[in-house]
Amino acid sequence: MLSPSRISLAPTGGSFPHPRRRAAMLRLQRCVLTQLLSSRSASPVSHLRRLISAAAPVVSPNPSFAVENYLVDTCGLTGAQALKASAKLNHLRSPSNPDAVLAFLAGLGLSSAHVAALVAKDPKFLCAGVERTLAPVVVGLTGLGLSRPEIARLVSLGGAQFRCRSIVSSLQYYLHLFGSAEKLFRALKYGSCLLSSDLELVIKPNVAFLEECGLDPCDIAKLCTCAPWLLSTNLERLQAMVACAEGIGVPRGSGMFRQALQVAFYGEEKITAKVDHLKNMFRWSDAEVRIAVCKAPMVLTLSKDLLQRKSGFLVSEVGLEPAYVAHRLTLLTYSLEGRLRPRYYAVKFLKENGLLDHGRDYYAAVVLREKVFMEKFICPHKKAAPQLAKDYAAACRGEVPARFRFT
Protein backbone atom coordinates (compact mmCIF):
# COMPACT_ATOMS: atom_id res chain seq x y z
CA MET A 1 0.00 0.00 0.00
CA LEU A 2 1.30 3.45 -0.86
CA SER A 3 2.38 5.48 2.20
CA PRO A 4 0.81 8.93 2.59
CA SER A 5 4.29 10.43 2.72
CA ARG A 6 4.89 9.10 -0.79
CA ILE A 7 1.81 10.81 -2.19
CA SER A 8 2.87 13.93 -4.05
CA LEU A 9 0.31 16.59 -4.80
CA ALA A 10 2.83 19.08 -6.07
CA PRO A 11 2.31 20.55 -9.51
CA THR A 12 5.01 20.04 -12.07
CA GLY A 13 7.01 23.16 -12.78
CA GLY A 14 6.73 26.47 -10.98
CA SER A 15 3.35 27.58 -12.30
CA PHE A 16 0.10 27.06 -10.43
CA PRO A 17 -2.13 24.33 -11.96
CA HIS A 18 -5.43 24.89 -13.72
CA PRO A 19 -8.34 25.26 -11.22
CA ARG A 20 -9.86 21.92 -12.30
CA ARG A 21 -6.57 20.11 -11.75
CA ARG A 22 -6.12 21.79 -8.38
CA ALA A 23 -9.68 20.85 -7.36
CA ALA A 24 -8.97 17.24 -8.27
CA MET A 25 -5.75 17.33 -6.24
CA LEU A 26 -7.63 18.76 -3.25
CA ARG A 27 -10.25 16.01 -3.51
CA LEU A 28 -7.52 13.38 -3.49
CA GLN A 29 -5.83 15.01 -0.52
CA ARG A 30 -9.12 15.17 1.41
CA CYS A 31 -9.88 11.55 0.60
CA VAL A 32 -6.54 10.46 2.01
CA LEU A 33 -7.11 12.54 5.16
CA THR A 34 -10.58 11.12 5.69
CA GLN A 35 -9.23 7.57 5.48
CA LEU A 36 -6.43 8.36 7.92
CA LEU A 37 -8.74 10.02 10.43
CA SER A 38 -11.25 7.18 10.19
CA SER A 39 -8.67 4.44 10.69
CA ARG A 40 -7.44 3.26 14.06
CA SER A 41 -3.83 4.32 14.41
CA ALA A 42 -1.40 2.34 16.52
CA SER A 43 -0.60 5.44 18.57
CA PRO A 44 -1.38 9.18 18.66
CA VAL A 45 2.14 9.88 17.40
CA SER A 46 1.80 7.74 14.30
CA HIS A 47 -1.66 9.20 13.74
CA LEU A 48 -0.18 12.70 13.90
CA ARG A 49 2.62 11.86 11.45
CA ARG A 50 0.23 10.39 8.90
CA LEU A 51 -2.12 13.35 9.30
CA ILE A 52 0.67 15.83 8.63
CA SER A 53 1.99 13.88 5.66
CA ALA A 54 -1.37 13.94 3.91
CA ALA A 55 -2.08 17.61 4.59
CA ALA A 56 1.43 19.00 4.16
CA PRO A 57 1.31 22.18 2.12
CA VAL A 58 3.05 22.25 -1.24
CA VAL A 59 5.00 25.45 -1.65
CA SER A 60 4.11 26.84 -5.03
CA PRO A 61 4.42 30.65 -5.24
CA ASN A 62 2.14 32.13 -7.82
CA PRO A 63 2.28 35.85 -8.64
CA SER A 64 -1.22 35.72 -10.12
CA PHE A 65 -2.84 34.17 -7.02
CA ALA A 66 -5.95 36.19 -6.06
CA VAL A 67 -7.15 35.68 -2.49
CA GLU A 68 -10.66 36.99 -3.12
CA ASN A 69 -11.22 34.61 -6.04
CA TYR A 70 -9.86 31.72 -3.99
CA LEU A 71 -12.29 32.45 -1.17
CA VAL A 72 -15.21 32.36 -3.58
CA ASP A 73 -14.16 29.52 -5.90
CA THR A 74 -12.51 27.18 -3.38
CA CYS A 75 -13.92 28.09 0.04
CA GLY A 76 -17.51 28.80 -1.04
CA LEU A 77 -17.82 32.33 0.35
CA THR A 78 -20.13 34.87 -1.21
CA GLY A 79 -18.61 37.83 -3.01
CA ALA A 80 -19.38 40.16 -0.10
CA GLN A 81 -17.91 37.71 2.44
CA ALA A 82 -14.80 37.21 0.32
CA LEU A 83 -14.25 40.94 -0.04
CA LYS A 84 -14.38 41.40 3.74
CA ALA A 85 -12.27 38.31 4.51
CA SER A 86 -9.58 39.04 1.93
CA ALA A 87 -8.51 42.15 3.85
CA LYS A 88 -7.17 39.83 6.57
CA LEU A 89 -5.36 37.60 4.08
CA ASN A 90 -3.62 40.12 1.83
CA HIS A 91 -0.23 38.67 2.83
CA LEU A 92 -0.99 35.32 1.16
CA ARG A 93 0.93 34.70 -2.03
CA SER A 94 0.11 31.04 -2.56
CA PRO A 95 -2.83 28.72 -1.92
CA SER A 96 -0.57 25.95 -0.60
CA ASN A 97 -1.26 26.46 3.13
CA PRO A 98 -4.99 27.23 2.68
CA ASP A 99 -5.27 24.10 0.53
CA ALA A 100 -3.68 22.04 3.30
CA VAL A 101 -6.03 23.53 5.90
CA LEU A 102 -9.09 22.86 3.74
CA ALA A 103 -7.98 19.28 3.20
CA PHE A 104 -7.44 18.91 6.93
CA LEU A 105 -10.92 20.25 7.72
CA ALA A 106 -12.52 17.99 5.12
CA GLY A 107 -10.65 15.07 6.65
CA LEU A 108 -12.24 15.88 9.99
CA GLY A 109 -15.63 15.66 8.31
CA LEU A 110 -16.63 19.32 8.03
CA SER A 111 -19.07 19.94 5.20
CA SER A 112 -18.45 22.60 2.57
CA ALA A 113 -21.08 24.81 4.22
CA HIS A 114 -19.40 24.52 7.62
CA VAL A 115 -16.00 25.27 6.11
CA ALA A 116 -17.37 28.35 4.35
CA ALA A 117 -18.97 29.57 7.59
CA LEU A 118 -15.72 29.01 9.49
CA VAL A 119 -13.58 30.86 6.94
CA ALA A 120 -16.06 33.74 6.74
CA LYS A 121 -15.99 34.05 10.53
CA ASP A 122 -12.24 33.53 10.94
CA PRO A 123 -10.35 34.02 7.65
CA LYS A 124 -7.00 33.58 9.37
CA PHE A 125 -7.88 29.94 10.02
CA LEU A 126 -6.56 29.37 6.49
CA CYS A 127 -3.14 30.50 7.73
CA ALA A 128 -3.00 28.01 10.62
CA GLY A 129 -0.14 25.54 10.56
CA VAL A 130 -1.34 22.00 10.04
CA GLU A 131 1.86 20.44 11.37
CA ARG A 132 2.54 23.03 14.03
CA THR A 133 -0.98 23.48 15.45
CA LEU A 134 -4.03 21.78 13.94
CA ALA A 135 -2.82 18.19 13.88
CA PRO A 136 -1.42 18.29 17.44
CA VAL A 137 -4.69 19.81 18.65
CA VAL A 138 -6.69 17.00 17.05
CA VAL A 139 -4.44 14.37 18.59
CA GLY A 140 -4.69 16.05 22.00
CA LEU A 141 -8.49 16.22 21.83
CA THR A 142 -8.65 12.60 20.71
CA GLY A 143 -6.63 11.77 23.82
CA LEU A 144 -9.33 13.44 25.92
CA GLY A 145 -11.90 11.06 24.44
CA LEU A 146 -13.50 13.28 21.80
CA SER A 147 -14.66 11.54 18.65
CA ARG A 148 -13.95 12.84 15.15
CA PRO A 149 -17.51 14.25 14.74
CA GLU A 150 -17.19 15.97 18.13
CA ILE A 151 -13.85 17.51 17.13
CA ALA A 152 -15.38 18.69 13.85
CA ARG A 153 -18.23 20.27 15.80
CA LEU A 154 -15.73 21.97 18.10
CA VAL A 155 -13.97 23.49 15.09
CA SER A 156 -17.23 25.13 14.03
CA LEU A 157 -18.04 26.31 17.56
CA GLY A 158 -14.55 27.36 18.59
CA GLY A 159 -13.36 29.02 15.40
CA ALA A 160 -10.21 31.02 16.07
CA GLN A 161 -9.67 29.33 19.44
CA PHE A 162 -9.23 25.97 17.73
CA ARG A 163 -6.01 27.19 16.13
CA CYS A 164 -4.45 27.67 19.58
CA ARG A 165 -2.83 24.61 21.14
CA SER A 166 -3.98 25.76 24.58
CA ILE A 167 -7.49 24.64 23.64
CA VAL A 168 -6.57 21.09 24.67
CA SER A 169 -5.89 22.00 28.32
CA SER A 170 -8.99 24.22 28.34
CA LEU A 171 -11.15 21.38 27.05
CA GLN A 172 -9.76 19.04 29.66
CA TYR A 173 -10.96 21.42 32.39
CA TYR A 174 -14.35 22.17 30.80
CA LEU A 175 -15.16 18.54 30.10
CA HIS A 176 -14.65 17.82 33.79
CA LEU A 177 -16.75 20.86 34.80
CA PHE A 178 -19.67 20.27 32.42
CA GLY A 179 -19.58 16.49 32.62
CA SER A 180 -19.77 15.76 28.91
CA ALA A 181 -18.86 17.16 25.51
CA GLU A 182 -22.54 17.60 24.61
CA LYS A 183 -23.23 19.82 27.63
CA LEU A 184 -20.10 21.86 26.90
CA PHE A 185 -21.10 22.29 23.25
CA ARG A 186 -24.52 23.59 24.33
CA ALA A 187 -22.74 26.32 26.29
CA LEU A 188 -20.43 27.11 23.36
CA LYS A 189 -23.47 27.68 21.15
CA TYR A 190 -24.07 30.87 23.11
CA GLY A 191 -20.55 32.04 22.27
CA SER A 192 -16.95 30.89 22.43
CA CYS A 193 -16.11 33.22 25.35
CA LEU A 194 -15.24 30.21 27.49
CA LEU A 195 -12.47 29.21 25.08
CA SER A 196 -11.10 32.73 24.65
CA SER A 197 -10.97 33.53 28.39
CA ASP A 198 -7.90 32.89 30.53
CA LEU A 199 -8.46 29.66 32.44
CA GLU A 200 -6.25 30.48 35.44
CA LEU A 201 -6.90 34.22 35.76
CA VAL A 202 -10.62 34.38 34.94
CA ILE A 203 -12.50 31.07 34.75
CA LYS A 204 -11.17 29.21 37.80
CA PRO A 205 -11.48 32.20 40.20
CA ASN A 206 -15.11 32.68 39.05
CA VAL A 207 -15.89 29.00 39.57
CA ALA A 208 -14.33 29.14 43.05
CA PHE A 209 -16.45 32.20 43.92
CA LEU A 210 -19.66 30.56 42.73
CA GLU A 211 -18.83 27.54 44.86
CA GLU A 212 -18.43 29.90 47.83
CA CYS A 213 -21.97 31.11 47.04
CA GLY A 214 -23.28 27.59 47.59
CA LEU A 215 -23.38 26.33 44.00
CA ASP A 216 -21.88 22.90 43.41
CA PRO A 217 -20.15 21.99 40.11
CA CYS A 218 -23.39 20.54 38.75
CA ASP A 219 -25.26 23.79 39.51
CA ILE A 220 -22.49 25.84 37.92
CA ALA A 221 -22.57 23.70 34.77
CA LYS A 222 -26.37 24.06 34.49
CA LEU A 223 -26.15 27.81 35.04
CA CYS A 224 -23.40 28.34 32.49
CA THR A 225 -24.89 26.09 29.83
CA CYS A 226 -27.21 28.95 28.85
CA ALA A 227 -25.16 31.77 30.40
CA PRO A 228 -21.47 30.98 29.75
CA TRP A 229 -20.61 34.68 30.08
CA LEU A 230 -20.98 34.30 33.85
CA LEU A 231 -17.68 32.43 33.90
CA SER A 232 -15.88 34.70 31.45
CA THR A 233 -16.78 38.02 33.09
CA ASN A 234 -14.37 39.62 35.55
CA LEU A 235 -14.64 38.58 39.19
CA GLU A 236 -15.68 42.03 40.41
CA ARG A 237 -18.66 42.08 38.06
CA LEU A 238 -19.66 38.56 39.09
CA GLN A 239 -19.56 39.62 42.74
CA ALA A 240 -21.76 42.60 41.88
CA MET A 241 -24.27 40.30 40.15
CA VAL A 242 -24.44 38.08 43.24
CA ALA A 243 -25.11 41.16 45.37
CA CYS A 244 -27.82 42.23 42.90
CA ALA A 245 -29.47 38.79 43.05
CA GLU A 246 -29.57 39.01 46.83
CA GLY A 247 -30.89 42.55 46.55
CA ILE A 248 -34.03 41.41 44.70
CA GLY A 249 -34.74 38.99 47.52
CA VAL A 250 -33.17 35.75 46.30
CA PRO A 251 -30.61 34.55 48.86
CA ARG A 252 -27.62 32.30 48.20
CA GLY A 253 -28.65 28.68 48.55
CA SER A 254 -32.16 29.35 47.24
CA GLY A 255 -33.44 27.13 44.45
CA MET A 256 -34.00 30.27 42.36
CA PHE A 257 -30.51 31.68 42.94
CA ARG A 258 -29.23 30.41 39.57
CA GLN A 259 -32.07 32.18 37.75
CA ALA A 260 -31.54 35.34 39.80
CA LEU A 261 -27.89 35.44 38.71
CA GLN A 262 -28.95 35.39 35.06
CA VAL A 263 -31.38 38.23 35.74
CA ALA A 264 -28.67 40.21 37.58
CA PHE A 265 -26.74 40.45 34.31
CA TYR A 266 -29.20 43.18 33.22
CA GLY A 267 -27.97 45.51 35.96
CA GLU A 268 -29.55 47.03 39.02
CA GLU A 269 -31.06 50.02 37.23
CA LYS A 270 -33.01 47.97 34.67
CA ILE A 271 -34.11 45.46 37.30
CA THR A 272 -35.42 48.23 39.57
CA ALA A 273 -37.38 49.71 36.66
CA LYS A 274 -38.91 46.31 35.84
CA VAL A 275 -39.84 45.67 39.49
CA ASP A 276 -41.56 49.08 39.65
CA HIS A 277 -43.43 48.24 36.45
CA LEU A 278 -44.69 44.98 37.95
CA LYS A 279 -45.84 46.77 41.11
CA ASN A 280 -47.79 49.37 39.16
CA MET A 281 -49.24 46.91 36.68
CA PHE A 282 -50.56 44.45 39.28
CA ARG A 283 -51.00 47.01 42.08
CA TRP A 284 -48.73 44.88 44.26
CA SER A 285 -47.32 45.93 47.62
CA ASP A 286 -43.57 45.77 48.27
CA ALA A 287 -44.10 42.47 50.09
CA GLU A 288 -46.10 40.98 47.21
CA VAL A 289 -43.58 41.94 44.54
CA ARG A 290 -40.79 40.50 46.68
CA ILE A 291 -42.67 37.21 46.98
CA ALA A 292 -43.33 37.19 43.25
CA VAL A 293 -39.72 37.83 42.18
CA CYS A 294 -38.37 35.23 44.64
CA LYS A 295 -40.61 32.58 43.08
CA ALA A 296 -39.80 33.38 39.42
CA PRO A 297 -36.87 35.78 38.89
CA MET A 298 -36.85 35.18 35.13
CA VAL A 299 -40.10 37.13 34.83
CA LEU A 300 -37.92 40.25 35.09
CA THR A 301 -36.46 39.43 31.68
CA LEU A 302 -39.86 39.70 29.94
CA SER A 303 -40.63 42.82 27.93
CA LYS A 304 -43.06 45.38 29.30
CA ASP A 305 -45.40 44.82 26.37
CA LEU A 306 -45.54 41.08 26.96
CA LEU A 307 -46.08 41.55 30.68
CA GLN A 308 -48.89 44.01 29.95
CA ARG A 309 -50.68 41.59 27.61
CA LYS A 310 -50.34 38.65 30.00
CA SER A 311 -51.44 40.62 33.03
CA GLY A 312 -54.40 42.02 31.08
CA PHE A 313 -55.50 38.54 30.14
CA LEU A 314 -55.04 36.97 33.58
CA VAL A 315 -56.65 39.80 35.57
CA SER A 316 -59.27 41.18 33.18
CA GLU A 317 -60.35 38.07 31.24
CA VAL A 318 -59.61 35.15 33.56
CA GLY A 319 -60.52 37.26 36.60
CA LEU A 320 -57.55 36.41 38.82
CA GLU A 321 -56.69 38.66 41.75
CA PRO A 322 -53.29 40.41 41.59
CA ALA A 323 -52.31 38.84 44.92
CA TYR A 324 -53.15 35.41 43.51
CA VAL A 325 -50.81 36.03 40.56
CA ALA A 326 -48.06 37.28 42.89
CA HIS A 327 -47.96 33.91 44.61
CA ARG A 328 -48.06 32.04 41.27
CA LEU A 329 -45.78 34.18 39.11
CA THR A 330 -44.85 31.25 36.91
CA LEU A 331 -48.13 32.04 35.16
CA LEU A 332 -46.34 34.96 33.52
CA THR A 333 -43.58 32.72 32.18
CA TYR A 334 -45.93 30.60 30.03
CA SER A 335 -46.85 31.44 26.45
CA LEU A 336 -49.99 33.54 26.21
CA GLU A 337 -51.06 32.22 22.80
CA GLY A 338 -49.72 28.67 23.15
CA ARG A 339 -50.72 27.86 26.71
CA LEU A 340 -52.56 30.42 28.85
CA ARG A 341 -55.41 31.21 26.41
CA PRO A 342 -56.02 27.71 24.96
CA ARG A 343 -56.15 26.07 28.38
CA TYR A 344 -58.40 28.77 29.79
CA TYR A 345 -60.81 28.30 26.88
CA ALA A 346 -60.82 24.51 27.26
CA VAL A 347 -61.35 24.60 31.04
CA LYS A 348 -64.09 27.25 30.75
CA PHE A 349 -65.82 25.22 28.02
CA LEU A 350 -65.84 22.14 30.27
CA LYS A 351 -67.22 24.15 33.20
CA GLU A 352 -69.90 25.84 31.07
CA ASN A 353 -71.09 22.46 29.82
CA GLY A 354 -71.14 20.81 33.24
CA LEU A 355 -68.21 18.54 32.44
CA LEU A 356 -65.90 20.02 35.07
CA ASP A 357 -66.40 21.25 38.63
CA HIS A 358 -66.61 25.05 38.71
CA GLY A 359 -64.22 25.10 41.64
CA ARG A 360 -61.41 23.53 39.61
CA ASP A 361 -58.37 25.80 39.77
CA TYR A 362 -57.14 27.35 36.51
CA TYR A 363 -53.52 27.42 37.71
CA ALA A 364 -53.59 23.67 38.33
CA ALA A 365 -54.51 23.15 34.67
CA VAL A 366 -51.88 25.57 33.33
CA VAL A 367 -48.86 24.05 35.08
CA LEU A 368 -49.43 20.54 33.71
CA ARG A 369 -47.26 19.23 30.90
CA GLU A 370 -49.11 19.12 27.58
CA LYS A 371 -49.42 15.33 27.58
CA VAL A 372 -50.83 15.27 31.10
CA PHE A 373 -53.23 18.14 30.35
CA MET A 374 -54.59 16.23 27.36
CA GLU A 375 -55.01 13.07 29.44
CA LYS A 376 -56.81 14.87 32.27
CA PHE A 377 -58.87 17.54 30.50
CA ILE A 378 -59.37 16.63 26.84
CA CYS A 379 -59.32 12.87 26.26
CA PRO A 380 -61.87 11.91 28.98
CA HIS A 381 -64.54 13.96 27.18
CA LYS A 382 -64.29 12.49 23.67
CA LYS A 383 -67.89 11.26 23.75
CA ALA A 384 -69.49 14.18 25.55
CA ALA A 385 -67.53 16.78 23.58
CA PRO A 386 -66.19 15.14 20.39
CA GLN A 387 -64.99 18.47 18.93
CA LEU A 388 -63.06 19.54 22.05
CA ALA A 389 -59.68 18.16 20.95
CA LYS A 390 -60.02 19.83 17.54
CA ASP A 391 -61.08 23.14 19.08
CA TYR A 392 -58.26 23.04 21.62
CA ALA A 393 -55.70 22.39 18.86
CA ALA A 394 -57.11 25.34 16.91
CA ALA A 395 -56.85 27.56 19.99
CA CYS A 396 -53.19 26.56 20.38
CA ARG A 397 -52.67 27.87 16.83
CA GLY A 398 -54.08 31.25 17.85
CA GLU A 399 -57.63 30.72 16.58
CA VAL A 400 -60.81 31.15 18.62
CA PRO A 401 -63.34 28.43 17.67
CA ALA A 402 -67.03 29.32 17.91
CA ARG A 403 -67.51 26.93 20.85
CA PHE A 404 -64.80 28.83 22.75
CA ARG A 405 -66.53 32.19 22.42
CA PHE A 406 -68.28 32.90 25.68
CA THR A 407 -70.67 35.74 26.39
Q: How does pLDDT run across 139-192, given as a tens digit for each residue?
A: 999 999 999 999 999 999 998 999 999 999 999 999 999 999 999 999 999 888
- pLDDT reported for residue 284: 86
Over residues 135-142, mean pLDDT = 95
Residues 318-338: b if buried by 16+ CB within 10 A, e if exposed:
bebebebbbebbebbeeebee
pLDDT, average across residues 305-324? 91
> Which tens digits make up the pLDDT trace of 333-381?
899 999 999 999 999 999 999 999 988 889 999 999 999 999 999 999 9
Percent of the chain with pLDDT over 70: 84
Sign of CA dihedral 112, 8, 126, 165: positive
Which of 399-403's residues contact partners 24+ apart within 8 Å by CB, and which partners? 400/345, 403/349
Q: What is the mean pLDDT of the segment spanning 312-340? A: 91
pLDDT at 64 over 80: no
Assess contact for 127 and 177: CB atoms under 8 A.
no
Query: Given pLDDT bands bounded at 50, 70 and 90, which one contains residue 72?
Result: very high
Average pLDDT over residues 71-94: 92
Q: How many helices (H) and strands (E) does the chain have?
A: 24, 0
Least confident of 62-76, 89-103, 127-141, 255-269: 62-76
> Tens digits of per-residue pLDDT, 100-123?
999 999 999 999 999 999 999 999
Does the global pTM surpass 0.75?
A: no
Q: What is the mean pLDDT of the chain?
A: 85
